Structure 1
Amino acid sequence: MRRYLPWMTVFEMEDDANDLDFVTQTETESESDSECDPSDEHPTSTDFEPIQAFTVPDNTADERQFIVFESCIVNLFRKCQRTGCAAEVMEFQRMLSGSRLIISTKCAAGCNYTWSSQPTFNRMGVGNLLLSAAILFSGNTYARMQDISDYLKLPILCKSQFFALQKRYLFPVINETWISCQIGVIDGLSREPKIVLSGDGRCDSPGHSAKYGTYSLMDEDTGLIVDFVVLNKADPSVKNSNAMEPMGLKQCLSNMKKWNISINILTTDRHKTVRKILRVEFPEITHQFDLWHFCKSIIKKIIKAYGIKKAFAPLLGWLQSISNHFWWCAESCQGNVEILQEKWDSILYHTANIHVWNDKK
């Protein structure tokens, strides 16, 4: 199934890119084969066909790109490329515009010819745009791509061009795509009588020094993000970094009400303010705690206890088992608090190498 990517609508945007005159080359298509021997390369090819029948995809974003060595390109331009002229090229000029290579030649017959390694969009090389999109959409950074290009001696667009393209083309397309997808998700969930969501916040840095934060709600059945908000500590309504997560949750839940989405269960971490918000302002929602956060908290407490008292050292070898045990307790207790407590207490026997006992259930 073909995956939809936001860059496939990028070329539908109309903008003046006079100050962004650069272009692309992107990554090569590689075939992953665990049994492939790098020293035994067998080129793949298509059947011969008339040049008139050779076609490329209508959408430039669907075209393949290739790594071509400079010496191979030079060999192609030793003769004039103009139709009807095969004179020897006397002058040869190479220009780089980001990852785009522009070659100008002048032959012995006086013909001038210019060739571009990439198609253009608003006088900008498409490859630079696609490369920027590939970096951003794959979750990479410009610095990583620059390291790769430096090792390969592969020219790419500069950092300022990358961020300019993000701002002018990529971010608007991402936003447009997100809104379109969110409308579809909301439309589907609004028809459901009750839904189960999970929510969590994320900040740009740990501790109390965070400046930005996001809060997201995800539908447990589909794994789709229903809503998210971005918060800034500089906002007068945000008291401090710790207040960003509860405020983000309130905004998301208010949006759910506005969109007539009925939430049956909401799973979050054990943030005190979050618990109060759900208890006081949204009592109709059943609030549950996320097991992953619970297990993480248990492990942190054991490690902290070891830091205070070295006698807890034997428990360090049990960390993963203790975490798994708590997860099993929650999954198998069938909602019975007493059974959950007894199963969890049994870890005291296991860590003491006692695996059979008769008390309790």
Structure 2
Amino acid sequence: MPITGAERQRLYRARRDADPEKRAQYLERARERWRKERELGKRKSIKEVSESEKNLKRLQWRRAQARRRAAKKAALDASFSSICSRKAEEEPIAITPKKYKSTKKSKPAHAHSKETQTPDNICAEIEMTWNNQGTPRKRPRWEVIEDWAPIDCDISLQSKENTESSSVPHKDSAPVDIEFSVEERPASNNTKYIVYESCLRQLFSSCPVCSMPCEVKSHRMGTYVSFDQYCSHCNYSRDWKSQPLVGSTPLGNFQMSAAIYFTGLSFYQVEKFCKALQLQSFKYDTFRKHARNYLEPAIVHKWKVDQQQILAQLKEEGGKIKGSGDMWTDSAGAAGYGCYTLTHQDSNTIIDLQLVQSNEMGKGHMKTDGLKRCLDHLNVNDLEVDSVVTESCPQTQEVLKKQNIAHFYDTRSFEKGKLIMAV
């Protein structure tokens, strides 16, 4: 099969870069070509480029970066699918369960495959190997969980013999009857487990009254599943739910969205994890619906309540406030949105933050407008500001001068400017 033009160019560049002399000659020719283009006016320095040309170049860079990421993702998906298809055609590999070291003479360990394996293939190979070989000659011991935490419930043991408390069941230990008296607590604080569907169906396959086979229907909604059990012999019926419902929303779905949102995880990464584990989940639209209708309003409400408590505490202490402000934007170049934060220096706590949009007052005045809004909010709450530490900006200096507030410069910005000048 003939190679493409791109592959031919790639091979040529690899041969050229492998030779130091050819590499040096190529770089020298590139520098000479750049000098000639500068003399002819085809190349411009960053100072000579207009603002619109800068924005156009940044847009081209972003699009090129997006294309590179899409191509990389497609290549990874193609390689993953090829590995899965190759593993499906191969014979299953015998994998023995892990055993603890023993004082007896150990036998030679089985050879493991060094190829990449997916979780589904590994589980299928283990199950197939155990089915073919039968029960292992020596059952592996239970692993002791050192960070074991007991369940919040009252347990009474009814046994004739006095048994010592242990988290590992002994071989000759007799079964003990345990009665659980679980205290009621909020559903959101309950402990969660991963349960297989086959294990759940075993609970509903037979009727608890007459022990006859039953008709079972399941309904799923994200992480939620319910089973409708009906016995045609004794007319027994039961409706079982895996998690409580808040209105029509399963509580587990909502808690999963909150955990993803509050911990700063990526929903798509969590979705990949669930697919690899074959763990049922919900779509991105459901996650955004939960965030838009419940999570984000809860964050705003919590911030307003805490802010009022901080401002009330500053009022009780009295005196003027010494603050420091800075802004974070969504991008370093053409910023569309920014968040200006004002921090109290003595307590090192945030006392106010303002969201600013560039099209409201222009890109060069976002920081000044954000600081002005923070100061206005403090004036409404009858709090006086003594001094503010910010970056060196003429517009900010004018605003603070009008309000008779001392302005101090941030040393970090000076050091950053010195570094840029040195470069």
TM-score (norm 2): 0.55
Distance 2:213 2:398 in 1: 78
Paired residue for 1:55, among 172, 183, 205? 183
Gaps of 5+ in 1: 1-38, 306-361
Q: 1:219 to 1:60 in 2, by over 3 A?
A: farther
- Give the aligned residue type for 1:190: K
Q: Is residue 159 of structure 1 aligned with residue 284 of structure 2?
A: yes
Which gives a bigger RCO, structure 1 or 2 (Cα 8 Å, sep 6+)?
1
Q: Is residue 184 of structure 1 aligned with residue 309 of structure 2?
A: yes
| Structure 2 residue aligned with 1:100 | 224
Distance 2:270 2:180 in 1: 37
Q: 1:111 to 1:298 in 2, by over 3 A?
A: farther
Q: Which of the two has greater helix per residue?
A: 2
| Structure 2 residue aligned with 1:281 | 402
CA deviation digits over 1:21-73, x for unaligned, max 9?
xxxxxxxxxxxxxxxxxx9732545573475621241x222222222222332
3-state DSSP of counterpart to 2:355: strand
Show the 5 A alignment for 1:33-52.
41-43=143-145, 44=148, 45-46=150-151, 48-49=155-156
Q: 1:246 to 1:176 in 2, by over 3 A?
A: same
- The answer (yes or no) to whether the contact 1:89–1:106 under 8 Å persists in 2 is no
CA drift of 1:220 comes to: 2.3
Gaps of 5+ in 2: 1-140, 157-177
Distance 2:215 2:197 in 1: 16
Paired residue for 2:320, among 178, 194, 198? 194
| Structure 2 residue aligned with 1:250 | 372
Show the 5 A alignment for 1:236-275.
238=361, 240-275=362-397
- Give the aligned residue type for 2:304: I
Q: CA RMSD in A?
A: 2.4
Q: 1:196 to 1:86 in 2, by over 3 A?
A: farther
3-state DSSP of counterpart to 1:165: helix
Distance 1:42 1:169 in 2: 40
CA drift of 1:288 comes to: 2.1
- Give the aligned residue type for 2:217: Q
- Give the aligned residue type for 2:323: L
Pick the structure with greater CA Rg. Answer: 2
Paired residue for 1:229, among 329, 354, 370? 354
CA drift of 1:188 comes to: 0.9
TM-score (norm 1): 0.64
CA deviation digits over 1:186-226, x for unaligned, max 9?
1111233022222111111221x222111111222333221
CA deviation digits over 1:100-151, x for unaligned, max 9?
1112222353323221111010121011111111111122232232222222
| Structure 1 residue aligned with 2:258 | 133
Task: Provide the identity percentage.
Answer: 25
Structure 1 runs of 4+ with >4 Å offset: 49-52
Q: 1:151 to 1:79 in 2, by over 3 A?
A: same
- Give the aligned residue type for 1:210: A
